[in-house]
Structure 1
Amino acid sequence: MPSRSNQATSWTHAWYAVAFLRDLDPKRPTPFTLMGEDLVLWFERSSGQWRALADVCPHRLVPLSDGRLNEAGELECPYHGWTFNGEGRCTAIPQAQEGSTISPRSHCRGYATATGQGLLFVFSGDIAEAADHPLPLVPEIDQPGWLVQDTFRDLPMDALTLLENVLDVSHVPFTHHATVGRRENAGPVELELNSFGPEGFTGVWQEGPRRGKLGSEFTTYAAPCLMWHELTAKGFARIFTVVYATPIRRGECRLITRFPFKFNSPWPARLLRLRPEWLQHLGNHVVLEDDQLFLHWQERVLEQRGGSQDAMRSFHLSTSADRYVQALHDWVNRYGGEPFPGEPLPPRQGRHALMERYEAHTRHCRSCSGADRRLRQLQPLSWGLAAAAALAAAWLGAGLWGGLALLVAVAAALGGLRIQRWLELLRYGNGLPPRNR
C-alpha cells in the first residue's frame, strides 16, 4: 500500500471545481476555501482570466478578499493598499519610496486556474504541475442538444462522505421517498465493477433504477472529486447525474451537481426552461436535506471506528448493492488516501444549523440571491396592496366593485404569504424530510 504521504498527492495535486462562472462577480474578489487553504478568486481584466491567490496579504496578513479591484484592474489589499497582479506578484506598495525594489517576500502564492463547461477550476498543487493533470470534465456535455440544470451547496460533511452517498444507488427509494424516489421501487441491486485503478473506477447496474423501467445505469468515479451516473430512458431521454465533491476543509465540502438531459422530444426541455432557476434550487435543497442530517452523524461514527481504513470492518456490506461504496474505500486505501489525514472532524452541529441555506447557497448564487432581493422588495408592495384593497372593499360595500376589491385583497394577502414562505426557504429548510411526513 502506498505511504500516507504519497496517497495525499491524489487530493493535494488535483483540479477542483470551485464555482459556476455565472455566480462569480468579475468586479469583486470572492473568498473560497479549498483543501483548508483560504483563497481569493478574482477576474484579471488585463489577461481576461480568472485568478486565484492565497487570501492573505504578506504585509500584515489580512484577507485580500476584503479588498477591491482597483482602477488598474489589480487586486488591492484593504489595509494598506498593496496591489497584486494575477500571478501574485506585488506591483505597488504605496508606503515605499518611488523606485524602490519590491522584495519577493511581498508576493502572494498563486494557484493555477482554468475554466471549462461553465465552471471555474483551481489546481491545489504547484502551478508548474497543473498542465500534467487534465480537467475533470464530462465530455458529453460539450455536445449539442443537452439541457443542463445546475446547483451547488456547501455541505457539513467530508467530500468522501458525499461521494460515498452519491455513489450508493440503492438508498434512493428509501432516503428520497416522496422527492426523487419511491419505496415501492426498491429491490435487489446487482452492481458490477468494470474497471478499477488509481484514476478511479467504472461500473454498471444492468437492470437500472425503478426496477428496470429506465434502462441500465453506468457509473464513473473520476478520482478524486468527480462522479457521474448515466442512463438512457428509451423513448424519452439520455440522463446524467454529475457530482463534484470539492473539499473545503475537514467536515465540509462544496457540492456542485449537474443534471444534463438530452430529450428525444423538444417539449420537455421547453417546459423545464419555464421554471425559474431559483425555484429549481429550492427543490434541490429538499433532496439534499433528505440525507444531510444522518450523513453528518454517520461520518462521525465512522471516524470513531477508525475512518476509511477500517470502513470494511465498521460497515456490514452484505450485498452487491454496496459494491461502489466498497470500491470507493478501496480506492482511498490503495491509492488516494483521505483528503485531511489525521485531522479530526469538527463538533457535530444541531438540526437548525444543518438546515441553513443562506450562507451555504443563496448568498453565493446569482439566481437565488437575485430572487431574495426581488422578493424582499415585492413583499411590502403585496401587503400594501392587500390592505388598500381591503379598505376599498369595505368602503365600496356589497356589489361588483366591492367584490372585485375583496378578491384583490385576498389574492394580494395570499401572495404576501407565499413570498414570506419563499424568503424563509431561501434561508432554512424545515428539517422534516418528505419521506417522514
Structure 2
Amino acid sequence: MAATASRSASPNTPGQQLFQALRRDTVGGALLLLAAAVALIWANSPASAEYFAIRDIELGYEPWHLRLSIGQWAADGLLAVFFFLVGIELKAEFTRGDLRRLRTAVVPIAAAAGGVLVPALICAAFLLTRPELLRGWAIPTATDIAFAVAVLAIVGSHLPKALRLFLLTLAAVDDLLAITIIAIFYTETIAVLPLAAALGVVIVYGLIASRFRRFFVDRAWAAWVVLLPLGLAAWALMHASGVHATIAGVLLGFTIPAVVGRASNRTTDADLGPSSQGGDGSGIDLAEALEHRIRPLSAGFAVPVFAFFAAGVDIGGSHGLAAAFTHPLTYGIMAALIVGKPVGILASTWLATRFTAGLDPSLRWADLTGVGLLAGIGFTVSLLVAELSFTAGSVEHDVAKVAVLSASLLSAAIAAFILTLRNAHHRRESQE
C-alpha cells in the first residue's frame, strides 16, 4: 500500500510537475521578482500607457460595492489567497508545531513585534517635518514571506532548520500585525452589519471545515464546491464593511483544523500527495491538504499578479529617479527596512532570550542578523500599504513604491551575502 501511495503521489503528468514546482519557495520567489521586474520595465517603456490602461480597467457589480479596477482586484482579492495560506500556516504551527509551546514561540513573536515597532518609529521620525507624509509610517512594517523564504532556500542549504522556522514565524506574525494595522489605521469607516455578517460566515466556514474535514481531504472537489463559496461570501462582506478584505483570508485560514498527533500512510488524490488519516478519521489534517492544493495558485498566480500590478511605477526617467532618492519618504522607508528591521528583530530577540526564554541551541546571532536583514524585504504587504497610504498616481504613491522596491532588493542582497558566509561556516562544521 505504501509503495502504491508513493507512485500515485509522484508528479507524473506535466500539470502535476508544474504544481509541484510551484510549491517550492525558490520558484514562488522567482515568479514574484519576475512579475515585479516586468511591470517596472513596462511602466517605464514607450508602451506605459497600455500598462496603466489595463491596470485601471474596472470590473464587478457596483450595487455590491465590487466595481473595482483590475489593480484593486489584485490587491483586495488575489492577495486574500496569500493571506489565507498565512492563516493556515500560523494555525498549524501554533496547533501542532514547535510554536505550540509558549517558551518556543515567544522568541520569534517578540522578534516580529520589534521588527514592526522599530521600523515604524524610524519611518515616522523621518517624516515628522512633513505631516502630510506621516500616513506612510506603516509601509515598512511587513516582511514578504515568499521572497524572504526563497532567498533563504537558495543560499541556506546547510543553515540550521530552526532558522527557517524562526523566519517563517517572524514573517507570518509581522504580516499579521501589518494587516491589523491596516484594519485599525487604514479603515476610514466601518459598516457594522456587513462586518458582523462576515464574521458570522467565517464562523460557519470554520464549523463546516472542522465537522467535515475528512470529507474535504478525501474529495478535493468538495472544498471548491462548499468552502470556496463561503470564503467568497466572507471576503465580499468584509470588503463591504470597509475593513480591508485580505483580513478575511487570514481569519478563514485560522479556522481550518490542524490536527495534533496525526498519522500518514496513504494517498487520497494525486493533487494532495500523502494524506493524513487515523483509523477513525480523527487524524485527518485539512490544513495540510488545503495548503498543499492552494499554494500553487498563490505562488503561481495570485502573488505574481498582485506584484505585477502593484510594482508598475512610472519613475520618470533619470530625473524622476533622482527626485525619488531625495524625497524624505524614500529615506524613511529605506532606513526603516534596511536598518530598522534587523535592529528591531535582534534587540527584541535579545530581550526575549534574556528575560523569558532561551534561543534554539543551533542558532547563532550571526545567523539571526542575516534573517533580520531578510525581514527587510517588505515587497508584497509593503506595496499593499503604500497603495492604501497615498492616492494612486500621486508623487508620494510612486516614491513610496520606488523606496519599497529599492530597500527590498538591497536587504535581499546584503542578507544573501551574510547568509552565504554563514552557510559555508555551517557546512564546514558539519564536515568536521
In our comparison, the structure showing a higher alpha carbon Rg is 1
- Normalising by structure 1, what TM-score? 0.24
- Normalising by structure 2, what TM-score? 0.24
- Work out which structure has the larger RCO, using CA pairs closer than 8 Å and 6 or more positions apart in sequence: 2
**Greater fraction strand:** 1
